Amino acid sequence: MHSDAAEVRKHIRTYLMIGAALLVFTAITVAASFISLGVAGNVALALIIATIKGSMVAAIFMHLNHERRWIYGSLVLTAVFFAALMSIPLFKTADHIGTAVVVPVAAGAPETGHEGR
Protein backbone atom coordinates (compact mmCIF):
# COMPACT_ATOMS: atom_id res chain seq x y z
CA MET A 1 0.00 0.00 0.00
CA HIS A 2 1.14 3.52 -0.67
CA SER A 3 1.08 4.92 2.86
CA ASP A 4 3.52 7.74 2.11
CA ALA A 5 1.68 11.09 2.23
CA ALA A 6 3.35 12.51 -0.91
CA GLU A 7 2.47 9.39 -2.85
CA VAL A 8 -1.14 9.51 -1.61
CA ARG A 9 -1.43 13.15 -2.79
CA LYS A 10 -0.22 12.07 -6.22
CA HIS A 11 -2.82 9.29 -6.31
CA ILE A 12 -5.74 11.58 -5.43
CA ARG A 13 -5.45 13.14 -8.90
CA THR A 14 -5.58 9.64 -10.42
CA TYR A 15 -8.72 8.79 -8.40
CA LEU A 16 -10.48 11.91 -9.71
CA MET A 17 -9.44 11.18 -13.29
CA ILE A 18 -10.65 7.57 -13.05
CA GLY A 19 -13.94 8.80 -11.58
CA ALA A 20 -14.40 11.14 -14.56
CA ALA A 21 -13.47 8.36 -17.00
CA LEU A 22 -16.06 6.06 -15.40
CA LEU A 23 -18.76 8.72 -15.91
CA VAL A 24 -17.76 9.08 -19.57
CA PHE A 25 -17.91 5.30 -20.04
CA THR A 26 -21.37 5.27 -18.41
CA ALA A 27 -22.55 7.76 -21.05
CA ILE A 28 -20.96 5.58 -23.75
CA THR A 29 -22.78 2.51 -22.34
CA VAL A 30 -26.16 4.26 -22.62
CA ALA A 31 -25.36 5.64 -26.11
CA ALA A 32 -24.16 2.23 -27.33
CA SER A 33 -27.46 0.63 -26.34
CA PHE A 34 -29.19 2.73 -29.03
CA ILE A 35 -26.95 1.29 -31.76
CA SER A 36 -28.51 -1.81 -33.28
CA LEU A 37 -25.87 -4.52 -33.53
CA GLY A 38 -28.16 -7.48 -33.01
CA VAL A 39 -28.72 -9.09 -29.60
CA ALA A 40 -25.31 -10.79 -29.49
CA GLY A 41 -23.51 -7.64 -30.70
CA ASN A 42 -25.21 -5.37 -28.19
CA VAL A 43 -24.61 -7.82 -25.33
CA ALA A 44 -20.93 -8.15 -26.28
CA LEU A 45 -20.43 -4.37 -26.56
CA ALA A 46 -22.18 -3.66 -23.25
CA LEU A 47 -20.11 -6.33 -21.47
CA ILE A 48 -16.85 -5.07 -23.01
CA ILE A 49 -17.55 -1.52 -21.75
CA ALA A 50 -18.63 -2.86 -18.33
CA THR A 51 -15.42 -4.93 -18.14
CA ILE A 52 -13.29 -1.85 -18.92
CA LYS A 53 -15.11 0.12 -16.21
CA GLY A 54 -14.87 -2.76 -13.74
CA SER A 55 -11.13 -3.12 -14.42
CA MET A 56 -10.58 0.57 -13.68
CA VAL A 57 -12.44 0.28 -10.36
CA ALA A 58 -10.53 -2.87 -9.39
CA ALA A 59 -7.09 -1.66 -10.51
CA ILE A 60 -7.18 1.91 -9.17
CA PHE A 61 -9.84 2.23 -6.46
CA MET A 62 -9.22 -1.25 -5.04
CA HIS A 63 -5.45 -0.91 -5.60
CA LEU A 64 -5.18 -4.20 -7.45
CA ASN A 65 -2.52 -2.72 -9.73
CA HIS A 66 -0.01 -3.15 -6.92
CA GLU A 67 -1.12 -5.78 -4.43
CA ARG A 68 0.54 -8.71 -2.70
CA ARG A 69 0.70 -12.10 -4.38
CA TRP A 70 -1.60 -13.69 -1.79
CA ILE A 71 -4.37 -11.40 -2.97
CA TYR A 72 -3.63 -12.20 -6.62
CA GLY A 73 -3.53 -15.92 -5.77
CA SER A 74 -6.95 -15.88 -4.12
CA LEU A 75 -8.36 -13.86 -7.02
CA VAL A 76 -6.96 -16.24 -9.65
CA LEU A 77 -8.66 -19.10 -7.81
CA THR A 78 -11.88 -17.07 -7.71
CA ALA A 79 -11.59 -16.35 -11.45
CA VAL A 80 -11.26 -20.09 -12.19
CA PHE A 81 -14.39 -20.93 -10.20
CA PHE A 82 -16.22 -17.93 -11.66
CA ALA A 83 -15.39 -19.12 -15.19
CA ALA A 84 -16.73 -22.58 -14.26
CA LEU A 85 -19.91 -20.97 -12.96
CA MET A 86 -20.34 -18.95 -16.14
CA SER A 87 -19.87 -22.07 -18.26
CA ILE A 88 -22.94 -23.70 -16.68
CA PRO A 89 -25.26 -22.01 -19.23
CA LEU A 90 -23.23 -23.76 -21.96
CA PHE A 91 -23.93 -27.15 -20.37
CA LYS A 92 -27.58 -26.18 -20.18
CA THR A 93 -27.61 -25.45 -23.91
CA ALA A 94 -26.06 -28.84 -24.67
CA ASP A 95 -28.44 -30.64 -22.32
CA HIS A 96 -31.51 -32.17 -23.95
CA ILE A 97 -32.85 -34.18 -21.01
CA GLY A 98 -36.60 -33.79 -20.87
CA THR A 99 -36.90 -32.82 -24.53
CA ALA A 100 -39.57 -34.86 -26.31
CA VAL A 101 -37.95 -37.33 -28.69
CA VAL A 102 -39.96 -38.83 -31.54
CA VAL A 103 -38.89 -42.40 -32.11
CA PRO A 104 -39.94 -43.81 -35.46
CA VAL A 105 -42.11 -46.88 -34.97
CA ALA A 106 -41.51 -49.80 -37.34
CA ALA A 107 -44.56 -50.94 -39.32
CA GLY A 108 -46.44 -53.69 -37.46
CA ALA A 109 -44.38 -53.34 -34.27
CA PRO A 110 -46.40 -53.31 -31.01
CA GLU A 111 -46.54 -49.96 -29.16
CA THR A 112 -44.69 -50.10 -25.84
CA GLY A 113 -45.82 -46.82 -24.41
CA HIS A 114 -42.24 -45.66 -23.81
CA GLU A 115 -41.23 -42.22 -25.02
CA GLY A 116 -37.69 -43.08 -25.95
CA ARG A 117 -36.14 -41.61 -22.78
Partner 1 sequence: MDIPYVVETRPDTGLTNGKLGIWLFLASEVMLFGALFSTYIILRTGSTVWPHGELNVPLGAVNTVLLIASSVTMVLAWASLKLNDFGKHRLYLIATVVLALIFLVNKFFEYREHLGHGKYPSASTFDAIYFTLTGLHGLHILGGVVVMLYFLGPGAALWRRNPEQFANRIEYTGLYWHFVDLVWIFLFPVLYLL
Burial classification of residue 56, based on how many CB atoms lie within 10 Å of its CB (0-12 exposed, 13-18 middle, 19 or more buried): middle
d(CA 54, CA 75): 15
With CB under 8 A as the contact rule, the residue among 65, 70, 99, 102 that binds partner 1 is 70
Residue with smaller CB distance to partner 1, 19 or 103? 19
With CB under 8 A as the contact rule, the residue among 36, 81, 97, 112 that binds partner 1 is 81
With CB under 8 A as the contact rule, the residue among 11, 103, 105, 117 that binds partner 1 is 11
d(CA 29, CA 23): 10
User: Which helix (DSSP H) or strand (DSSP E) does residue 8 occupy?
Assistant: helix 5-32
d(CA 2, CA 69): 16
Contact residues for partner 1 (CB under 8 A)?
Answer: 1-3, 5, 8-9, 11-12, 15-16, 18-19, 22-23, 26, 29-30, 33, 39, 42-43, 46-47, 49-50, 53-54, 57-58, 61-62, 68-71, 74-75, 77-78, 81-82, 85-86, 88-89, 92-93
